[in-house]
Amino acid sequence: MKDALHNIYRNQSLIYKTFLFICATVLMVYLFPKAGKFKYEFQKGKPWQYDNLYAPFDFPILKTKEEVEQEKEAARSDFVPYYTYNANTIAEVIGMYKKEYPGFFQNKNLQRAGQEFLTRTYTNGLIADDEPLPESRFINLVKGNEVSTLDKEKLIRMGQLQKSLFDYLEERGLSAYEDDFYRLFKSIVEPNVALNEKLSEKALNEELNNIYTTKGTIEKGKRIILNGEVVEGEKYEVLRSLEREYESHLWKGTNYYYILFGYIILITLAFTMLFLFLWKYRPYILQNNTKVTFIFVNIIVMVFATTIAVKYDGSYVYVVPLCILPIILKAFFDPRLGLFVHVLTVLLLGFIVPNSFEYVFLQIIAGMVTILTVSELYRRANLFVSVGQITLVYMITYFAFTVIHEGNLENFVWLNFGMFALNGLATLFAQPLIYIYEKLFGLVSDVSLLELSDTNSKLLKELSDKAPGTFHHSLQVANLAEAAANEIGANAMLVRVGAMYHDIGKMNNAIYFTENQTTGVNPHDEISPAESAQIIINHVIDGIEMARKNNLPDRIIDFIRTHHGTSTVYYFYKKQLQNDPETDEEEYRYPGPVPFSKETAIVMMSDAVEAASKSLKNPNYGAINDFVEKIVSKQIAAGQFLNANITFKEIESVKKVLKRKLTNIYHLRVEYPE
């Protein structure tokens, strides 16, 4: 049991990565669309590149969305709405007429004429002025349980009542009573026909639902297309119908499990490629569980966002700012990893999006442009300029695809340019997202490095106050290291910041370090070499503690840990040997580790050269050259760069830069005559 727990503890990193791998694969399979993938890839306007295709089963020819929408629009325009006829209204109005009539007239003939007018008016129906009527000529009039079709012109609007009354009375020679009759009718007449919205909506929906989405059937064995034929017109529609029918049938019965198994294999293969890339080219990232988790989280977030867009509307897939992925990975790691992960993610998304070839081509090109253009994110204008270039590439590539497919610009959807513009605006969210990721995953970007390089920051200000000599030394090392990093293509900003903080541990015992001794008194003269060596070695441990207390990123702490590697405090070791020849050298050795990146190796070389350069009595070209060669060769011989991914050629380049910079620093002016 104890051995088993020990093995688990020893392999916890591997166990975690395996668990992450499995969880990511399961989540990706869940996000993938539950539909099969048609085994033929075709595009409108392009030749059919496969063998002659025959119908594998009977299937219907589907109408296009435009055709179905046109039929629905025609159904809406031809639809005859339903109006309800209220038969009780006429009885109520005539009753009120008989009651009010004696107050206006006493003549029986006039009473009969008015009642006849009301009966005739209400026979077809009286409708309010604000009641809508259809564009079509007829309406369906519902009287009780019967429905009849009526010419809408036979209905009388309330606003037409006066004219209709005057025409009626004029026919009967009763024009003298027009005003009195109108005043009477105006007070009692009410509409008896109104639109029945519920019944009309129900009937319209039934008509729309009855519209067929198919226009014929292809029988099994019928030839669909020959090799080399251009996919267009009816052939394109038949192929699209076969694709839809094929994909809808795949996820039935045992096919479901086979397709799931296929998805698992492909996703596993993609993630395996990612792990192999990290193992071969970025082992320091693979060893860090947080960084590996960060990469997988970003991939899953992009797949999730694209899945949501596709489910809502396939055309919105271009609004998803996929180029945020390479921007973020480049900001935290390097361009090569950013492009590799971006391409891998785009290939996975090819299973989700429509027109997968176009999408993959478009996004890979955009990703390349992102890697090539986005740089120095701490400069605010750079991101805006890069996003503008990315958006322009999206638009140009989409335009080219449309021209190839359609052969003209008649069907070009200009609205998609607006989607690419929205994509660009969403890509600008990379800046705040980088800040969020820094807090969530403890990573550091160039933006944070720029903030840390401010000499007015709390820690550097404290260093300049407590150990001004060390502060000046750190600035000199930063200048040397930054120039060397630029020469070999390392992260110059990271190197500069690491160099500025590498000696902060000297603040605890500043006076014990030569650069801070201004009085000529050396406190090491009062203590033993062993104690002196321990104070010197402890500045590394003290620096790490101070850095963690002040929440410096781990990437900066790495410079504090490695800037002396596993070298010895040689001066005090030799001094102690004079007192005790059997002195153990390990007691005078820094705890390490040795540098494990180009950046930490550069700072080690720059620190050693700058510190030792103070001992040069007569600096000249030859002395500086021999001096730098001696120090760096000694570090190489001690195996300080064995774990750093820096080549001998790059070390030679670093040495040249250090020699040039030191020559500039120590170059003596010509002596001017007095």
| Contact (CB, 8 A) for 308 and 354 | no
pLDDT, residue 453, reads 87
Residues 479, 436 within the same domain? no
**How many Å apart are CA 311 and CA 309, to the nearest integer?**
6
List the beta bridge partners of residue 142: 84, 147
Token digits of residue 385 = 């300029």
Residues 478, 625 within the same domain? yes
Residue whose structure tokens are 């404290």: 462
Mean pLDDT in runs of 10 for the chain (674 residues)? 60 88 92 68 74 79 81 85 87 82 74 82 83 84 84 84 81 79 82 87 87 80 81 80 69 67 91 94 88 94 91 83 92 90 94 84 92 75 85 89 73 78 89 87 82 88 92 93 92 92 92 83 84 90 93 90 90 80 83 90 94 79 86 92 91 93 70 48
41 domain-assigned: no
200 domain-assigned: no
**How many Å apart are CA 564 and CA 113, to the nearest integer?**
118
Cβ contacts of 654 within 8 Å, gap of 6 or more:
484, 487, 488, 602, 605, 632
Using CA atoms of 373, 375, 379, 385 in order, give the dihedral in degrees to the nearest 10. Answer: 10
Of 441, 476, 502, the domain-final residue: 441
208 domain-assigned: no
Residues 129, 24 within the same domain? no
Residues 269, 181 within the same domain? no
Residues 460, 396 within the same domain? no
For every residue of 154-207, DSSP letters joined together read GSEEGGGHHHHHHHHHHHTT-GGGHHHHHHHHHHH----EEE-HHHHHHHHHHH
Residues 432, 453 within the same domain? no
Cβ contacts of 330 within 8 Å, gap of 6 or more:
337, 338, 370, 371, 374
pLDDT, residue 670, reads 44
Residues 505, 397 within the same domain? no
pLDDT, residue 7, reads 62
Q: How many domains does the chain divide into?
A: 3
Residue whose structure tokens are 């760096």: 632
Residues 437, 527 within the same domain? no
Q: Environment class of residue 198 by beta-carbon count within 10 Å: exposed (0-12), middle (13-18) or buried (19+)?
A: exposed
| Contact (CB, 8 A) for 47 and 228 | yes
9 domain-assigned: yes
| Contact (CB, 8 A) for 652 and 606 | no
Q: Which amino acid is at 526?
A: E
| Contact (CB, 8 A) for 193 and 127 | yes
537 domain-assigned: yes
Of 383, 409, 441, the domain-final residue: 441
Residues 300, 383 within the same domain? yes
Token digits of residue 352 = 């989700």
pLDDT, residue 247, reads 65
**How many Å apart are CA 237 and CA 349, to the nearest integer?**
25
45 domain-assigned: no
| Contact (CB, 8 A) for 225 and 231 | yes
| Contact (CB, 8 A) for 343 and 326 | no
Number of CB atoms found within 10 A of residue 565's CB: 25
Residue 273's domain comprises: 2-35+255-441
Q: What pairing do the DSSP bridges indicate for beta strands 223-225 and 53-54?
A: antiparallel
Residues 185, 269 within the same domain? no
Using CA atoms of 349, 350, 352, 353 in order, give the dihedral in degrees to the nearest 10. Answer: 110
pLDDT, residue 530, reads 87
Angle made by CA atoms 478, 481, 482, in degrees to the nearest 5: 80
76 domain-assigned: no
Residues 468, 432 within the same domain? no
Cα-based distances in Å from 64 to 159, 193, 272, 607: 46, 40, 40, 71
Please tell me the pTM assigned to this model.
0.64
62 domain-assigned: no
Of 172, 195, 218, the domain-final residue: 195
Cβ contacts of 345 within 8 Å, gap of 6 or more:
299, 302, 303, 322, 325
Residues 333, 301 within the same domain? yes
**CATH number of the structural domain spanning residue 486:** 1.10.3210
